[in-house]
Amino acid sequence: MRFLLIGLMILNGFIGVYAQQKTAASKPKIPLSKAAGIGGREIPITLTPLKNCTVYLGSYFGKGMTLVDSAKLDQNSNGVFKGSNKLTTGIYFVVSPTYTIQFELLMDQQQHFSIKADTAAKESAVITGSPDNDLFKTYAKFSNEKGKALQQLKFSLQAAQGEEANKIRQSIVQTEKDIKQFQNDIHKKHPKSLLSSLFYIMQRPEPPAVPIINGKPDSAYPYQYVKQHYWDNVLFNEDRLLRTPFFEPKLDDYFKYYVSADPDSIIYEVKQILLMAKSGKEIYPYLLTKFTNKYINPEFMGQDKVFVYLFENFYAKGDTVLLNPASRKSITERAYSLMANQIGQQAPVLNLTDTTGQKQGLYSIKAPFTIVTFWDPNCGHCKEEIPRYDSIYRAKWKAKGVAVYSVNIYENENKAWKAFIAEKKLSADWYQVYQTAADRQAEEKAGLPSYRQLYDIFKTPTVYLLDDKKRILAKQLSLEQFDALMDAKKR
């Protein structure tokens, strides 16, 4: 019984072997709290021809899967899934001793029903005492029939031409309408059913036609319509969202296609979702973890602002109780490392010592742009990148007044540092500086944050671009991207 929609399936050809039940796919980096239900469950199962072995009850969990219960089958193939707590409602499956998924079922609120099945006829599993599973079986039969029809129509369309092709396209459209109508009928006839709720979770709005307003097409309307109705009838505090295979892909697509990559836009959406999910026992920590892991080391520059927002507005206000001590320490340290170097902020003050022993303050440099680079003279990547920066500086940046504040991050490598500068003949116009041991010790004694923390230096080279007022324009881009950004800012 495959729940997912035919040609519209989120997961096509879902794998049958669940070989590593304790390491689900897409496992979050930060531990999530365990579910704690109320009431109890008692689900007798007969699974022939298996005897004297253990079978499992599993469920989806975000993009992954997890085992939630087990039953010992006797010599007559009988066992029972039993516990004092109810399981979170959603889509579950029975798993064999070799971790092969046998068939899916719906876990409703009753959780006192029976299962009778045979491993040789998985589609014929009989579930008694569960109206939701009766409805599910009806839908599964319907969707399988329509799925086969759609598959055949699409295959025939490949070789069809002219009027025949048009008829096949019309049949495809009608079949898809039949599927949609079946779902609508479930909503009308069984509005409180688990199946109806699951249809809402997986549903994605279809964009309407472009309207004509005052004689002009409003091309933005379909996009806005879909975004406004994307989460219709979905409650973010329902833990059952995680017990489906389609909620998290739908959420990912929402942020990919309907939320601007601008960090402030992301923050707005994340804030709304987390506030709505706050009362969910499983869903809230899961979503907070998901967003934290996504934006702690984001795909695009500047989106680490989202992680800082999460720390300041959730973790710093008490949600660190969701973390174990190691994760709490890691999250806190990472947040403090990012707070001082957000895009648009003033760069932290640097007043370091040059190769002659003189202090050179970052803010004393007058330039339309300043490149600040932190590097290690023994770092292989630095040995390649720093000369490249020097080349473009000589060829282009120097004439435009660009300054380079170049920081050796290891005070005990001064000999290698100076030798590298001489060997590569790095421009004498650069500000080549480092922090003396005395300055570092004084800083530590005063309890001040180090420049490593202030500039989030956990790899080398780490590079920033500052404007004429020493505000951070960009960080951790490629040399070519920094150059293109300066050209764009000059226009």
The pLDDT tens digits of the residues spanning 98-149 come to 999 999 999 999 999 999 999 999 889 999 999 999 999 999 889 889 989 9
Q: Is pLDDT larger for residue 39 or for residue 94?
A: 94
Distance CA 18, CA 391 (A): 54
**What per-residue confidence (pLDDT) applies to 12?**
28
**What per-residue confidence (pLDDT) applies to 262?**
96
Give me the percent of the chain exceeding a pLDDT of 90: 83
- Lowest-confidence pick of 6-10, 37-41, 96-100, 302-306: 6-10
Class at the top of the CATH hierarchy for domain 6-129: mainly beta
Residues sharing a CB contact under 8 Å with residue 283, sequence separation 6 or more, in sequence order = 236, 237, 238, 239, 241, 242, 277
- Strand runs labelled E in 410-461: 431-434
90: left (phi over 0), alpha (psi -120 to 50) or beta: left
pLDDT above 50: residue 1: no
pLDDT above 70: residue 301: yes
Average pLDDT rounded to a whole number, residues 451-463: 95
**What per-residue confidence (pLDDT) applies to 89?**
96
**What per-residue confidence (pLDDT) applies to 251?**
98
Summary mean pLDDT of the chain: 90
CATH homologous superfamily of 351-490: Glutaredoxin (3.40.30.10)
pLDDT above 70: residue 26: no
Average pLDDT rounded to a whole number, residues 410-416: 92
**Residue ranges of domains in the chain:** 6-129, 136-202, 216-339, 351-490
pLDDT above 50: residue 2: no
Asked if 294 contacts 263 with a C-beta cutoff of 8 angstroms, the reply is no
Within 77-130, residue ranges assigned H as helices are none
**What per-residue confidence (pLDDT) applies to 36?**
36
Summarised one tens digit per residue, pLDDT across range 350-372 is 999 999 999 999 999 999 999 99
pLDDT above 60: residue 173: yes
Question: What confidence tier does 39 reach under pLDDT thresholds 50, 70, 90?
Answer: low
Question: What confidence tier does 389 reach under pLDDT thresholds 50, 70, 90?
Answer: very high
- Max distance between CA atoms of the chain, in angstroms, equals 87
| 52 C-beta neighbours (distance < 10 Å), count | 10
Distance CA 151, CA 129 (A): 34
Residues sharing a CB contact under 8 Å with residue 331, sequence separation 6 or more, in sequence order = 30, 292, 296, 311, 315, 320, 323
pLDDT above 60: residue 22: no
For residue 210, what are the CA distances in angstroms to 197, 219, 222, 225, 360?
A: 30, 6, 6, 10, 60
**What per-residue confidence (pLDDT) applies to 486?**
96
- Lowest-confidence pick of 9-18, 304-313, 479-488: 9-18
Global confidence as pTM: 0.83
